[in-house]
Structure 1
Amino acid sequence: MNTFNDEKIVDLQQEQEQEQEQEQAQALLPFHYRCKVSYNGTHYQGWQIQSGSPLGEAKTIQGEINSALSKLCQEREVYTLGASRTDAGVHSLGQIFRASIPLDLPISAMTKGLNSFLPPEIRILSAEKCDRGFHPRYAAKWKEYVYLFTIDRSDENLLASPFVHNLVAAYPYAYESIKLQAMMDATKLFVGHHDFVNFYCEGSAFKSTKREILRTEMAKVTAPLSSCLLVPAAECWMIRVIGRGFLKQMIRLIVGAIWNVGRGRVALVEIANALGGARAGSDPKLGVVAPACGLYLKQIGFSEFADGAKFSA
């Protein structure tokens, strides 16, 4: 008997039942909006309201939006459904969610009005009316994440600044012998269909650990954070990953493995072998879980990904 798989099946069934109950409740609400939201996730326990916990126990992005929506709708019941469940401390530049509400509100109310009830670290960027059948998570064709980190080559440390320490991570190892080209080569290995059993953390339900990565890139940031006079100069890099779906903390473990390639602790062949799906030993992971502060959900695509498209800055 495979206890691990049995527990995952039970978790997945419970999650599906909860979603079905929520969908039925949302169906009773007549007005639906597709909204785009950006947020600084530093002080939040992720996007999703924690199941079984009172709203006040775990401060989440979805919980704040639901509270603001309820105020906008005269304290009546509302529902939201997000496209991506970002973890605690992770940021977003373009999360998409569907809001189901009891009132027919103008678009300005769903943007400016809703923002007036939200804390400043959560901003509704756009909104439009949509059909009840729009399911952000199932309709999404791909998602793009960006991970920002600095390599401190000077006496001044960017992360010593009180303004950005929660918005960018730092390469945690000695930089003198860092192998940047090897890191960039490692980034490319993740493209394609792979079994990411060695690149996720427990805590979520799923049918399979196999995922498809459409495109990756590691590049130096062309517009450095030091362009703002409030922070010292630093070398900033980004790792971009576009995929059809992700496991819990998968990207942060990918980044941790790439960092270990940079310090010479992990070889490219070890990355390739790990992507083959063999789960060896009690802790087969190839690196640390990179800090949440460097991870951004950049955008979500609802049409097929065009591989020839150039990454935007």
Structure 2
Amino acid sequence: MLTINYLTIFIENLHVTIYLILINKLFKMKNLGLMMVITIILFVNKGFSQYTFTSYKHSYFEKFLSSETLVPITGIQNIDSIIKETLDRDWKFTKLKFVPINEIEQFSKNGNVSIINLLPIQFGNFGNSSLCLYVPGNFNITRMTNVISSVPIKCGFSGDKKYNTECSFEQIGYKIDILFVQLIEVIKFMKEEKYIPLGAHITGVNKYVNLYNKKIAKSNLDIKLKTLLINENFFNNKMDSVIFKKYYSYKFKVVTENEYQKIISSDNENYFVMLQSNIPNSVISVFDLQINKTLFIDLNFQKNPFTSSAKLRKLNLKQVKKLDAQIEKIASDNN
């Protein structure tokens, strides 16, 4: 299985650092520190944003539209039936072909197909997986240029120091329909907005995430306010339920991992569901189980390249305030 490794990305960018040092010596510039900051910013902006709204080249999106899309058959009956039901209902882009999951790899060089599959992402000792739609062929795993759409997934820890990057369909079976809906939402949004890729990839994606949130808030969807369901594991020493309640103005319910999975599996329409992935950023989204729609996305985008890991990898105050503002807009426009 393909793995995205950030060490490779860093090595790829060493030439930028060397180039700036040579310029510094050539022009006898004293502010090498500034140059190094620029290098770091370039490196950060080339990182994988995870909630991806398109690749660097829009031609890949056009290639996807003319392809046949391969979808893995996991061999787990209830998961496969949910995937097929979701795609039959919402997929309007290409012809679909269902392929046994152990045969997907043989199509990795086939430029005439597109593939939906799980891709592990590794960031140092940490990692997670994303559900990705990508065009194979000359697949660049460090820049993710061939990825059309992706949704980050949070799996369980395999130990104190090593995050489990090998997320399986079985582990995410309870929310598999949500993840496929979110993948489709991104593709549909890209097509409607005629997304133009930007050089600074994370900055560009963040721009379109904000646009997505604005469109949802102003939509004519019949969105009813519901209790926000939060997994207790999403909280941390900087953001607990007491602090969350202070800045989130609406009803919410904190539950255990088991309760969280049971409520989502039952498709309980009385809830908005918070989803989180914490590597490399604390990406959160809120999903309405009644209308099958993502209401809010936040990439936890940080302009400062020296932002602490606590802010990057954990639910934080800025995200809660943005979520509260989004729900307030939805409440005023739809209720």
TM-score (norm 1): 0.29
TM-score (norm 2): 0.27
Q: Which has the higher helix share?
A: 2
Higher relative CO (Cα under 8 Å, sequence separation at least 6) belongs to 1
